[in-house]
Structure 1
Amino acid sequence: MDMKDVRKTAKERMKGYCRMCPICDGRACSGEVPGMGGLGTGVAFRNNVTALKAVQLNMRLLHDATEPDTSTKALGLDLSLPVMAAPIGGVSFNMGGAISEDAYIDAVLGGCKSRGIIGATGDGVPPFIVDAAMGGVKKLDGHGIPFIKPWDGAELKEKFDLAFSTGAKIYGMDVDAAGLITLRKMGRPVSPKPPVELKKIIDMVHEKGAKFILKGVMTVDEAEKAIEIGADAIVVSNHGGRVLDHAPGTATVLPAIADAVKGKICIIVDGGVRDGVDVLKMIALGAELVMIGRPFSQAAVGGEQEGVEAFIDQLTAQLTQAMVLTGCQTIDSVGRHILYGMTK
């Protein structure tokens, strides 16, 4: 399946929810939440894109890195690319509902598995969102990462019990979902979590022999706190610019976080990543893995599993070419030396 056809179909199916702009920078969809836009003025969404766009690469061709190895290891996973599909759900109110939630989840998870990477699933209301998420991971014998929102009270434990039933080996919580207006409108608010409460959740996951990802870390002090409470990984993320207007772009805050905690915890990042070159930039800035959100959603709606596979194939080709042109034979060899004006 050709990505042009995927995008054309996605544009038709997501009409009124996503314009499939040639440059997905949040300008046309500011304030469209629910939908695919950023909160309020959309500045946080745009900051993700502009911060990453400002990062420039040093072209080097006096080397022998002609056939780069894009594979990597992280969180006990062997991955063909340092890429994960971000946890996104709510096809009916965010993406137009042209395909079912089940079909969407199956497309993302199945496409990722077939191409040697892994996808995460989202959480939310109505119940069909979490049902599709957990069902999709279970169908693939646990090959997926269920993310649970920071619910209050008994609902949090109930959701984790559902997640544990999937057989997954990695679980996450997107604390950056705290305050999502879509959930408030549905009468199901979520809230920030103090470290002492998060530690209990992490301990519960570890007792299952699994790993825990904390998504929504944007400062050095909270990255250090994540280590203290035992998280296995953090995702540097502002929730796609959908929760706090005027937040900085993730590419802006990532280097300082990496300088402080890299080697002590797995660093994942999302925000404004559109292609394989962006993946390389984020790895050079200090991430070990890169989560991609909106482009995976567009590919799934536009072509279901074939669309997701086509998108991953495109990412692979773009990343490979960028590695050749910057002299990187392996993902481990990527560093700030390939970034113009950055050497540390």
Structure 2
Amino acid sequence: MSKKWLLALLIVPVLLLAAPAAVIGLGVITIMNGPPKLETSGGTGALNLQAIPEAYRAAITEAGKRCKGITAPLIAAQIEAESNWNPAAISPVGAMGMAQFMPPTWSEFGKDYSGDGRADANDPLDAIGSQADYMCHLHTWVNQQLDAGTISGDPIRLALAAYNAGSGRVLAAGGVPGIIETRSYVEKIMAGIARYTKALAGHDYAAGGGPDVSADGTYREAIGGSGKLDRSILCQIPWAASGQVLRCDAQRALSELNKAFKAKFGQNLAITDAYRDYATQVRLKATKGFLAATPGYSNHGWGLALDIGNLGPEGSTRHRWLREHGPAFGWQHPSWARIDGRKSEAWHWEFVGTEGAKG
């Protein structure tokens, strides 16, 4: 056994337990164990200030500058998961304040960021600044373990899991531990990053009518009549095969999203299917069965859905990137199409606009 591996196995985590989150019943995520040092997934760092309570905007902005990887949108999404921005929150097990620090963890990482001369977990400015410090500490620890080969996974997810369950449990599990509360906590925060991220294109995309957006903001409700749109309201996707069209507002938003995707990965989004007229819906239902919507009820038939062929499975680097950044352009991976949904389709995405959309 090499000295590096022996040292890694002997490492004792600094903190065994961290703050338990306020659990919100979201679907359990699939943990993708793969090569160490996956691309960090904390979002772009461009903070959507309008989503932050005004009193905390400056503190969140500064906290996002503390270290590479721990972005302001990530910190904001984490606070929402911990306390829903309640500075007086107290958990049944004694976690305190907006960032839900346990007393032992606060005694080590709590600092005075409000300037009143004392570090107070119930002071929101102290809590936000100290949360960023602690997350940076955990992010550094995670990367050390990834380098040593003792854990694997996405660095941000691993740091969040350590915040929730303790670094000892992450180390013992070799990754995100199989604790439903912890997995739900990580998933909620990762999904919430988009809500606190400024649109990369610098403006909002309206939903533009059509079927209602679902309550969770990730897809269009199914209604009859699709597949009969006037072709004058459909626009060709410039880089896709001839005939691959969307409603023009959705196409414009997709084009901006594609620019960001291409800048990141060096190639266009591979569009395999966009608008489907009614006849095409009938044909696909006959050949694909359960995978195809009832003819007349497909959101492809409203020019608001498409299939993408080069993302890989849910949890892959490209899929994670689009899941995090697509909502800034109005494009979402529907909750029903996710791995814990009723019909897993990693390739299916829908245009819901940015107003009121959720991650």
Q: Normalising TM by the smaller chain, what interval? A: under 0.3
RCO higher in 1 or 2 (8 Å CA, sep ≥ 6)?
1
TM-score, scaled relative to structure 2 = 0.24
Q: Which has the larger radius of gyration?
A: 2
TM-score, scaled relative to structure 1 = 0.25
Higher strand proportion, which one?
1
